[in-house]
Structures are given as structure tokens and as C-alpha cells.
Structure 1
Amino acid sequence: MRILCIGDVVGSVGCNFLRSKLPTIKKIKAIDFVVCNGENSSDGNGITPTSAKFLFDSGVDVITLGNHTFRRKEAYEYIDESPFIARPANFPEKTTPGTGILNIDTGRRIISVINVMGNMCMDNNLNCAFETVDRMLEKAEGKIKIVDFHAETTSEKRAMGYYLDGRASVVFGTHTHVQTSDCQILPKGTGYITDVGMTGTIHSVLGVKTEIIIEKLKTKLPARFDLASGDCKMECAIFDVDEKTGLCINSEALRIE
């Protein structure tokens, strides 16, 4: 089975570029299942029902989220009701809209998608990511298990990869918007990449106009994050998973412009 994992889609610019490229990539690469991080898919951070529907209509099967999940209150009910959106599982279960694990029945197989957020340098007091992912794995019904680990530091992401090695089919990192060069298969058979990258404007700072971020870093003052325009990229990774074992047999990082 060929699984495509797409890095953080930034705003309408990223959404439109994804729509222009995804159908062709799915056809050329014979993709069976698409997971996309959409926590920044709405202009001005967060996700809205409109941006989520746009991604689904473009060919995405499952949307994962992150630290900007609940920026837009108009999305709360949609996240809570959608069977194809996973939010970080380490938010409090009883009071947080949505779920941290999806068991997707594709007709031929069940695919479990888990979303977990890191603790290091993330300015949150969420439950331990490692304990949380263990709880989610107990709820996973599929042989194929995909984990989006939305985290800041490469050390925490690498640690999570090895922690899940042999227990998850794929672990892909999101949040830092810069694709890393370590797309690989770990020793026990888990496909892994520290950060799958970003879908949005190439000449930007994480999708935002460069001059805004530079000024904010220099002055330390708040700033409105306006999206950059121009040529775009879609950074992603393809993982081939053996359906009998649930383990990865091939991995490939891509940058599509």
C-alpha cells in the first residue's frame, strides 16, 4: 500500500497549490491513501470547515492537526463531527472537540491514523506524548498505523520514531515546515521522516512574508502574519507499507514545485 504524507498546508495559497498538484501525483505515483496536516490551512492560522472541505475535495483522505487546531472557533463542531480529522490526542479527552485517533475502513482494510503533539518547546501543558501514543495504539484497529507527530525539536521527533519502531507503519513529523533529509526505514520496519515539510510559498518564512518575520524577531513586538505570494512547493513523503505485516518496505521524500 502506498501512503502519501503531506507537510503543513499554509493558507489558501498552499491549499490551491495542493489542489493543482495532488491529483496528478496520486495518479503517477499510484497513491492509495493521503494524509495531510491542515492545521494552518486557513488564512491567518488554524483550520476552518471551508479549508478542510477544500483539502478533502482536492483528494486528501485524512487531515491531521497541531498546535493551531483550535484557533478558529467556527471549526470546533466540524472537527468534533468529522470522521476524517484527527487532532492531537494529548489534549484533554473529555473537554476537547474531536479525537486523536481515526480507524478508517477503506473497504479492503482498516487504517489507523494517530495525531500526537510534542511537549518540548511547544508552550503547552499537554499530556506526555509518549504515554499518549501508547494509549492510542491500544485503540488502533488497523494493521497499518500512521502517526503524525507534531513537534518542535528534532531530538523529540527522532526519539518518538525509535520509540514506535516496529509498532507503527509510518511516523512522520510536522510543525517546523522544513523538510529534513532523513526519510528512511528504521531498524524494526517503521517508515520515518523527522519533518515532512510544508505546502506553500517557497520564498517565505514558514509561508509568511519574510519582512514581517524579520521585523518581529528584531523588535520583539506582535505582528500580523500575512501570507507570502509567489512560486509554491508541496513537500511530502511516500511510504510503501506491506499490508500483511504493517511494516514499511520503501520510503521516498518529495518536493514538488
Structure 2
Amino acid sequence: MRIFFIGDVFGKPGRRILKHHLEWLREELRVDVCVANGENAASGKGITPGVAEELFASGVDLITTGNHCYDNKEVFTLFEKDEERIIRPLNYPQGSPGPVCARWSSPSAGTLTVVQLMGRVYMPPCDSPFTAIDAFLETAPSSAILVDVHAEATSEKQALAWYLDGRVTAVIGTHTHVQTADERILPHGTAAITDAGMTGPHDGIIGGELKQMMRRFLTVLPTGLEVAKGKPMIHAVLIETENSGLNARKIERFSLGENQLNRGSIGVS
């Protein structure tokens, strides 16, 4: 199975670059299933039914969220409508709205289960991600499992990756919008990267408009969030599993600007 995981899709620029390029990228990279973090897809905060449909139409199969998942009240309708394709963090308190597990399958590639964990270091309060994933894995199917770790601290993401080595297929960090260069296969077969990065405008500050974001650092005045208008990039990783099983065979990182996105230009092994 070849899994393409797209780092945090940020606003219209992130959606636009996927609309224009994801379909042929899937073909060129021989992608079986595509997962995207969509918690910033609607104007930089949260997700709506319309935005989710746009991502699905572009070629995304499953969507994870994060700490902004409830920022748009329309998301509750989305959770009811697409409970098999979009999820909230697994370790939110019991009773929190939204599904916690998404599954995709095909006769040729097998089944992929996707869950998301929220970090607790420098993040809003939530239950222990370690305890939550232990409980989930007790009854999880024996298929490929991808865990999106939505967290601020690199140490916490790496700790979860090591904790889950050999128990899941991949542990992919999200949230910081800064792609890390530490992708690897851990000793017991789990693919890991601390942060997949951001799919969106890269001429601002983590997706936000440059001047507005600078005001946050230079003054004490409150500022809103305006999506930057600079050139977008696709940040993603490609994971290949061992014969549709649990272990990963390969993880490859991508950082692609529009000037690099030409058919036949993306190397694939």
C-alpha cells in the first residue's frame, strides 16, 4: 500500500494547489490512498462541509483535524455526514462530538485505519495520548494503521513514535506547519516524521499574512488571522507498506512549489 499524507492544508492557497495538482500527483506517485490534515483548511482555522468536499473532490480520501476542529460549528454536520472520512482527535474527553477512526480499503491494496492524537505539551488540555492509543490498539484491526500526532513539542511527537514502533504503520506529526527532515523507519518497522509540514502559502508566517503576524511579535495588540497570499507549496510524505501489512518499507518526504509541479518531474522509487 502506498499512502500519501499531506501536511496541514492552510486556507484557499492550500486547497487551490491540491485542486490543480493532486490528481496527477497521485497517478505519478502510484498512490493508493491519500490522507490530509484539514484543520486549517477553512480560512486558516477549522473546516466546513464545503471545504471538505473540495478536498475530497481534489483527490483526498480521508481528513484528520486537530485543535481547531471545532472552530466552525458546521463541522458537527460534517461529522454526521462523513463519519467514515473525517475524524477528531482520539484523546479528546469522552463524549466530544465526532468520529475518532477513519478506514479506507481496496481489494488490491488492503485496509488503512487512521486515528489522530493530540499532544499535551503547550496545547489545550486533553486526555493522555499514550493511554488513549493503548486502549484503541487493543481492538484495532490487524491492518495498516496511520497515526497523526497533532502536537507542538517535537519531543512529545518523537516519544509517541518510539512508543508505537512496531505497533502501527506510521506516526506522522502535524500542527507546527514547519516540515522536519527526520523521516525514517524505526527499528520495528514504523515510519515516522516529526512534522509533515504545511500545504499552503509559504511567504507568510506559518500560513498567516506576514505584516499581520509580525504585529503579534512587535506589539501587544490583538490581531486576527489573515491567510497569506504568497506562492503555495505542497508538503507531504509517501509511505509504502510491506505487502499490505502493518510494517512500513519506505517513507519519502516532499516539499514542492508550483514551479516544481510538472508531470514527469517528480522522481519516484
TM-score > 0.5, shorter chain as reference? yes
1:113 is matched with: 114
Deviates more, 1:222-231 or 1:237-246: 237-246
SS at match of 2:74: helix
Superposition deviation, residue 217 in structure 1: 1.7
Q: Could you tell me which amino acid in structure 2 is paired with residue 189 of structure 1? A: G
Question: Which residue identity does 2:18 align to in structure 1?
Answer: L
Deviations 1:18-38, CA, capped at 9 Å, x for gaps? 111211210111000111000
Show the counterpart of 1:90.
91
Contact 2:237–2:252 (CA under 8 A) maintained in structure 1: yes
**Could you say which residue in structure 2 is the equivalent of 1:136?**
136
Q: For 1:78, what is the secondary structure of its paired residue?
A: helix
Say which is worse superposed, 174-183 or 125-134, in terms of deviation: 125-134
Find the aligned partners of 1:7 and 1:101 in 2 and give their Cα distance.
Answer: 18
Q: Which runs of 5+ in 2 are unaligned?
A: 258-269
Contact kept? 2:10, 2:44, Cα under 8 Å = no
Contact 1:111 1:141 in 2 (8 A): no
Aligned residues: 255
Tell whether the 8 Å contact from 2:2 to 2:239 is kept in structure 1 after alignment: yes
Contact 1:100–1:114 under 8 Å retained in 2: yes
In 2: Cα distance, 1:192 partner to 1:22 partner: 23
Greater mean deviation of Cα atoms: 4-13 or 222-231: 222-231
**Partner residue in 2 for 1:252:** 252
Unaligned runs of 5+ in 1: none
Offset at residue 142 of structure 1 (A): 4.3
Partners of 1:49 and 1:75 within 8 A in 2: yes
Displacement of 1:44 after TM fit? Answer: 4.4
Between the aligned residues of both structures, percent identity stands at 38
Q: Counterpart in 1 of 2:5?
A: 5
The superposition leaves residues 55-102 of structure 1 with CA deviations (integer Å, 9 ceiling, x where unpaired) of: 0010001000000000000111212331100110111232x2212212
SS of structure 1 residue aligned to 2:178: coil
1:5-27 per-position Cα deviation (integer Å, ceiling 9, x unaligned): 10000011110111112112101
After superposition, the CA RMSD in angstroms is: 1.3
**CA separation in 1, counterparts of 2:120 and 2:107?**
36
Map of 1:194-209 to 2, 5 A cutoff?
A: 194-209=194-209
SS at match of 1:53: helix
Deviates more, 1:103-112 or 1:49-58: 103-112
Q: Which runs of 4+ in 1 moved over 6 A?
A: none
Are the equivalent residues in 2 in contact too, given 1:64–1:86 (CA < 8 A)? yes
Give, in angstroms, the shift of residue 143 of structure 1. 1.2
Do the aligned residues in 1 keep the contact of 2:33 with 2:104 (CA within 8 Å)?
no
- Which residues in structure 2 correspond to 1:85-234 (within 5 Å)? 85-94=86-95, 96-108=96-108, 109-122=110-123, 124-234=124-234
More divergent stretch after superposition (61-70 vs 12-21)? 12-21
* 1:244 shift after superposition: 4.9
Aligned position for 1:31: 31
Q: Distance in 2 between matches of 1:80 and 1:137?
A: 24
Any conservation in 2 of the 1:81–1:98 contact (CA below 8 Å)?
A: no
- Write out aligned runs for 1:38-53 (5 A): 38-53=38-53
- Do the aligned partners of 2:179 and 2:196 also contact (CA within 8 Å) in 1? yes
Contact 1:110/1:142 (<8 A) preserved: no
1:71 alignment partner in structure 2: 71
